[in-house]
């Protein structure tokens, strides 16, 4: 079986400012660029060839992939898919997380941020952050106004099964450069994580996670390439 590399984009400018980002197309911070470069060095040390690479429509994920591939000495060729976008944070988009937690209270804040199927209030279509006003999505018929992690899962997994999984079964290595929640959704599927435990999964920015599969596409082993910044991999398997 092929190997799957998952990379959460390097720190973005809004990550650095502790703001809910979602579908807003913010750039990498200086730290994020360094994290993307480190990802590239780690991929180069790994020494694998990659049949295909996938990323979202958002520049922070795209740039992370482009930088990493360049540093690794690989061809910068990839497929962009809106289905791999970050979760849409609805009316929380653009808000400071600490201030929002204080305003909403810890229980409701955690429900919106980490529950499986409880989306935040919808974002007004007239908001400057609304994706309805973004030319990136002019061809997309069902632009979301908010999403739960379940909503994110319901677009990420069908895309993975239709467009990415086939490469793994053909013994091809794949890279996906995406986001905290779109990768959490994919990890829920791959590692068979329960709805209750998925809120415990943390994915570090700019640290490639390599996953090895058996012939039945079940995970044999997985680990982060940067051991100093690794997080616990939650699994029910």
Which are the catalytic amino acids?
Answer: 9, 86
H or E segment and range at residue 35: helix 30-46
Residue (of 127, 33, 30, 35) closest to 88 by Cα position: 127
- Assess contact for 29 and 11: CB atoms under 8 A: yes
Token representation of residue 199: 């809120």
Token representation of residue 49: 């060839």
Question: For residues 44 and 68, what is the distance between their CA atoms, to the nearest angstrom?
Answer: 9
Residue (of 74, 105, 83) closest to 179 by Cα position: 83
Partners of 5 in beta bridges:
175, 210
Count of helices and strands (H, E) across the chain: 8, 6
**What are the distances in angstroms from CA 29 to CA 34, 40, 100, 225, 237?**
9, 17, 23, 21, 36
Token representation of residue 51: 């049949």
């Amino acid at each position: 079986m092929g190997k799957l590399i998952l990379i959460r984009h390097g720190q973005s400018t809004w990550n650095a400012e502790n703001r809910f980002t979602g579908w807003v197309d913010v750039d990498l911070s200086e730290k994020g660029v360094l994290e993307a470069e480190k990802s590239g060095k780690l991929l180069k040390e790994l020494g694998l060839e990659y049949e295909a690479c996938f990323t979202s429509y958002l520049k922070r994920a795209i740039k992370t992939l482009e930088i990493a591939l360049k540093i690794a000495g690989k061809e910068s060729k990839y497929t962009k898919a809106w289905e791999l976008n970050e979760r849409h944070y609805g009316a929380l988009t653009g808000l400071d997380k600490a201030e929002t937690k204080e305003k909403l209270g810890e229980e409701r804040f955690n429900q919106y941020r980490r529950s499986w199927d409880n989306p935040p209030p919808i974002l007004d279509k007239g908001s400057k952050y609304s994706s309805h006003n973004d030319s990136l999505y002019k061809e997309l018929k069902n632009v979301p106004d908010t999403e739960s992690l379940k909503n994110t899962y319901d677009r990420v997994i069908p895309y993975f099964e239709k467009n990415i999984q086939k490469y793994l079964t053909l013994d091809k290595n794949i890279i996906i450069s995406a986001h905290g929640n779109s990768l959490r959704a994919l990890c829920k599927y791959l590692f068979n994580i329960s709805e209750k435990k998925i809120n415990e999964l943390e994915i570090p920015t700019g640290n490639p996670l390599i996953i090895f599969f058996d012939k039945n596409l079940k995970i044999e082993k997985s680990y982060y390439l940067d051991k100093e910044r690794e997080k616990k991999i939650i699994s029910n398997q």
